[in-house]
Structure 1
Amino acid sequence: MTSAASDVSNFYYGAVTPIAAYLMACLGAALGLRCTTRSLRHPQRRARWLALGATAIGCGIWTMHFIAMIGFNVQGALVSYDTTKTLLSLAVAIAFVSVGVFLVGYRGSSPVTLATAGTVTGLGVAVMHYLGMAAIHTDGTLQYDTMTVILSVVIAVAAATAALWAAVSIHALWASLGASLVMGVAVTGMHYTGMAAVSVHLTGHSATAQSSTDLLSFLLAMLAGPLAVLLVAAVIVMFDPDMMLTDDDWDRPAPASAPRGTVPAQPVHAEQQASRPSGSRTSW
Structure 2
Amino acid sequence: MEQALEQIRDQQKQSWNKFSPGWKKWDDLFMDFLNPNGQEIIDSLHLRDTDVVLDIAAGTGEPGLTIASKVKKGKVVITDLAEEMLVVARENKERKGIDNVEFVACDVCELPFTDNSFDAVSCRFGFMFFPDMLLAAKEIARVLKPGGRVATAVWNVPDKNFWVTAIMGAISRNMELPAPQPGAPGMFRCAKEGLIAEIFEQAGLKNISVKEVAGTLDCKTVDTYWNAMTEVAAPVVAALDKADEAGYAKIKSEVFDLVNQKFPDGNVQIDSSALVIYGEK
> Normalising to structure 2: TM-score of the pair?
0.27
The structure whose RCO (Cα within 8 Å, separation 6+) is larger is: 1
Larger proportion of helix = 1
> Normalising to structure 1: TM-score of the pair?
0.27
Larger proportion of strand = 2
Larger of the two Rg values belongs to structure: 1
